[in-house]
Amino acid sequence: MQRYFVLVVGILLFFAEPARAEFYRWVDNDGKEFFTNDQRQIPPAYQSRATVVKPDESRVSVGKEPAVKQGPTTVSKEHKDKYGKGEEYWRKKAANLRLKLRDQQEDYDLVLKQMDDQSSKRTHSKKKKTRSSLEKKKLKLEKDITRTRRMLEVDLPEEARKADAYPGWIRE
């Protein structure tokens, strides 16, 4: 019985093929890239666009040997834009705009609270003049917030693109 078992296991191992899982890749309408090893997980709209990903055997290592023989390591220079400004400059510029926007939003919220407090008290004498000044301040802050948001979301990315700076440098 034991010999029979060993013989069956030996035959199964002899004819067994290496296990390979196919990986599938697709890109959605927003340009996001997705990977899966289960073809059923691919949304029906992207079934026709999904492609099989072929593994790069040169990058696979078995045992203690690295897959790629490494020569002497070289220190890569930090990337700079075409004006010589690096990642730190762009990150600081974006952070300053975010801070300015947050401060403006806090001021705006404070003005809204003050206006709400005044409207709940409803005294007409001197408060009408104060309310008018609060309205002016509110409108000015709305313009400032819009301007700063545009600088952060439109102008700065465009400036970075023109300067050949990495887009990731201005993201949070």
pLDDT tens for 95-138 read 999 999 999 999 999 999 988 888 887 655 555 666 688 899 99
Given a cut of 70, whether residue 12 has pLDDT beyond it is: yes
In a domain, 75, yes or no: no
Same domain, 157 and 101: yes
What does 17-45 look like in DSSP terms, one character per residue? Answer: PPP---EEEEE-TTS-EEEES-GGGS-GG
The answer to the question of residue 43 being in a domain is yes
User: How many structural domains is the chain composed of?
Assistant: 2
Q: What's the average model confidence in pLDDT over 1-9?
A: 82
The answer on 98 and 34 residing in a single domain is no
Clarify whether residues 106 and 149 are in a common domain: yes
Q: Could you give the CA distance from residue 101 to residue 144 in angstroms, rounded to a whole number?
A: 9
Statement: residue 59 has pLDDT above 90: no
The per-residue pLDDT of the chain, averaged, comes to 82
Over residues 11-38, mean pLDDT: 78
CB atoms within 10 A of CB 16: 8
pLDDT at 30: 77
Does residue 150 lie within any of the structural domains? yes
pLDDT at 37: 84
Instruction: Examine the domain organization and report whether 92 and 50 are in the same domain.
Output: no
Look at residue 21 and tell me whether its pLDDT is greater than 80: no
Structural domain boundaries enclosing 99: 87-170
> What 3-state DSSP class applies to 136?
helix
Q: Which SS3 state, helix, strand or coil, does residue 90 take?
A: helix
* pLDDT at residue number 150: 95
What residues have CB less than 8 Å from 39, skipping those under 6 apart? 22, 24, 50
Task: Evaluate whether residue 82 is within a structural domain.
Answer: no
Beta bridge partners of 27: 33
In a domain, residue 12? The reply is: no
Is 163 contained in some domain?
yes
Residue 11 has pLDDT above 90, yes or no: no
- Same-domain pairing of 97 and 163: yes
Identify the helix (H) or strand (E) that includes residue 52: strand 51-53
CB 135 within 8 A of CB 127: no
**What pTM does this model have?**
0.52
Same domain as 166, residue 122: yes
